[in-house]
Amino acid sequence: MGVEIVELVPGDGKSRPRVGDTVTIHYVGTLAGTQQVFDSSRDRSEPFKTPIGIGHVIRGWDEGVPQLSLGCKAILKVSPDYAYGARGFPPIIPPNAALDFEVELLAIERPKRP
């Protein structure tokens, strides 16, 4: 269980997000094994920006996204315990749902140090 990464387009192979970095990502989330889209930044034509590795997103993203390099397009196959678990995210995501996210890592911002 956890997160499996299926690379579709390789990134630069060098620049990877670290814990606490802010990433800019395009994503399409589907219920695993279906084409049922539950959320998509591409549909909104606006990439999603979030800190990574510090609990602001599901564990599958916190652990999967840092394995991608800048420019990479991949599918993150996230098990229920690394997604929304037994509670799900009603009414959009049922309990114990595995999720697939097609993600593209567009940018990485390091936190500013004083």
Catalytic residue among 62, 82, 84, 100: 84
Those residues whose C-beta lies under 8 Å from the C-beta of residue 76, and which sit 6 or more positions away, are: 3, 4, 5, 60, 61, 64, 65, 100, 101, 103
Based on the residue annotation, tell me whether 84 is a catalytic residue of this protein.
Answer: yes
pLDDT band at 99 (very low <50, low <70, confident <90, very high): very high
Alpha-carbon distances of 73 from 35, 103, 104, rounded to whole Å: 18, 6, 4
Based on the residue annotation, tell me whether 39 is a catalytic residue of this protein.
Answer: yes
Helix (H, G, I), strand (E, B) or coil at 103: strand
Catalytic residue among 21, 48, 52, 58: 58
pLDDT value at residue 80: 98
Based on the residue annotation, tell me whether 43 is a catalytic residue of this protein.
Answer: no
pLDDT band at 1 (very low <50, low <70, confident <90, very high): confident
Taking residue 109's Cβ as centre, other Cβ atoms within 10 Å add up to 12
Indicate whether this model's pTM tops 0.75. yes
Structure confidence by residue, pLDDT tens digits, 43-80: 999 999 999 999 999 999 999 999 999 999 999 999 99
Based on the residue annotation, tell me whether 48 is a catalytic residue of this protein.
Answer: no
Catalytic residue among 25, 82, 101, 108: 101
- Mean pLDDT of all residues belonging to the chain: 96
pLDDT at 18 over 80: yes
